[in-house]
């Protein structure tokens, strides 16, 4: 009897990923990725001015850099389905961000970017440290369909998505960025204004504080692999292809779940085929589990924490899900204590969360 998952894996692994680079009328890049070569002629496009990022300012008490980009106040806000900017364009219809009638995965530079290679000179304020907000912000459109999730797009599309992330990691590091963060915001509680299935990629000109602290911990000998193996029975949720989904005993969000290679790997660029399969499967499986448990499309933040530049030898990759719900129809608000101190109050014990998600 044929193992359907193994057969699908074999078919995916035998397919070549095609990439098409296209320059939009306003000068922004558009990349089209697929298992089939994309050769369609572009339709009519919008033009207009494109923002070139904001500026970085240093917070002297928190000792961190933050991005200021006031032009983002004008970004598209909850358009009708007929005006979906992430949909494929239609013959005779209004132009969208993607001037083609079909695609598999599309990535383009955000029109309302916070970081840009030609970032403007920051305002000069006495006593304030500031610098250019160089970098890049990309939008990653998972599918031409106007609805769906990481669970419903299927394993083949998730594998293709991993390949596109790897390609962008390599390109953005080559362009001089210090840290690259693919992420997805899902649900209105997170502030999502475009419901079309998509994620984003931010490429930073510095290593943000969270990742700098993680890199330091790994350099100082913290062994995440040992923790994963030691805690798998109590905190494990699912595993596949050498990858483990688990609720760390130190989570900050109720039902927070991480996906990580069981053995240390710096980032998806070092995954073998089995690990890519496992990672893709678990991205879909965790989204499915959340939706089943919360009885609705779950609002969450998903971020990929791969090694910053120069940290490959010690860094251990994780993909981290932060659900914005603490129970069905109950939102986890990050209120005064969390915002003021950074000390989170967690409403669900991680071992309880792991057991609940594991049994779904």
Q: How many CA atoms lie within 13 A of 2 on its CB side?
A: 7
Q: Can you tell me the distance from the alpha carbon of 278 to that of 283, in angstroms, rounded to the nearest whole number?
A: 9
SS (H, E, C) the chain: CCCHHHHHHHHHHHCCCEEEEEECCCCCEEEEEECCCCCCCCCCCCCCCCCCCCEEEEECCCCEEEEECHHHHHCCCCCCHHHCCCCECCCCCCCCCECCCCCCEEEEECCCCCCCCCCCCCCCCCCCCEEECCCEEEEEECCCCCCCCCCCCCHHHHHHHHHHHHHHHHHHHHCCCCEEEEEEEECHHHCCCCCCCEEEEEEECCCCHHHHHHHHHHHCCCCHHHHHHHHHHHHEEEEECCEEEECCCCCCCCCCEEEEECCCCCCHHHCCHHHHHHHHHHHHHHHHHHHHHHCCCCCEEEEEECCCCCCCCCCCCEEEEEECEEECCEECCCCHHHHHHCCCCCCCCHHHHHHHHHCC
Give yes or no: 198 in active site: yes
Set 18, 59, 116, 198: catalytic member? 198
Q: Is 177 left (phi over 0), alpha (psi -120 to 50) or beta?
A: beta
Give me the active site residues, please: 198
């Amino acid at each position: 009897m044929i193992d359907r998952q193994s057969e699908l894996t074999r078919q995916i692994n035998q397919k070549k990923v095609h990439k098409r680079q296209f320059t939009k009328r306003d000068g922004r890049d558009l990349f089209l990725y697929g298992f089939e070569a994309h050769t369609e002629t572009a339709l009519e496009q919008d033009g207009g001015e494109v923002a070139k990022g904001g500026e970085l300012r240093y917070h002297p008490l928190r000792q961190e850099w933050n991005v200021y980009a006031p032009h983002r106040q004008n970004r598209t806000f909850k358009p009708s389905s007929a005006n979906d900017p992430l949909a494929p364009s239609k013959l005779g219809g209004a132009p969208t961000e993607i001037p083609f009638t079909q695609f598999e995965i599309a990535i383009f530079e955000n029109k309302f970017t916070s970081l840009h290679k030609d970032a403007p000179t920051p305002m000069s304020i006495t006593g304030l440290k500031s610098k250019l907000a160089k970098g890049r912000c990309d939008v990653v459109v998972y599918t031409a369909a106007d609805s769906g999730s990481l669970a419903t797009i299927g394993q083949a599309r998730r594998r293709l998505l991993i390949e596109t992330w790897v390609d962008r990691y390599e390109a953005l590091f080559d362009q001089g960025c210090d840290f690259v963060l693919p992420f997805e915001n899902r649900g209105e509680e997170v502030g999502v204004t475009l419901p079309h299935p998509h994620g984003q990629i931010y490429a930073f000109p510095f290593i943000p504080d969270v990742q700098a602290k993680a890199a330091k911990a790994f350099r100082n000998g913290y062994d995440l692999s040992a923790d994963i193996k030691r805690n798998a029975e109590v905190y494990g949720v699912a595993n596949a292809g050498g990858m483990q989904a688990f609720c760390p005993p130190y989570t900050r969000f109720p039902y927070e779940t991480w996906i990580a290679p069981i053995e240390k790997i710096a980032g998806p660029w070092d995954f073998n085929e089995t690990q890519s399969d496992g990672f893709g499967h678990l991205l879909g499986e965790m989204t499915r589990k959340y939706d089943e448990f919360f009885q609705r499309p779950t609002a969450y933040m998903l971020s990929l924490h791969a090694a910053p530049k120069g940290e490959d030898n010690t860094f251990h990759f994780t993909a981290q899900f932060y659900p914005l719900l603490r129970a069905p129809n109950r939102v986890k608000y990050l209120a005064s204590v969390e915002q003021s101190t950074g000390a989170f109050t967690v409403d669900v014990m991680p071992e309880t969360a792991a057991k609940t998600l594991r049994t779904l």
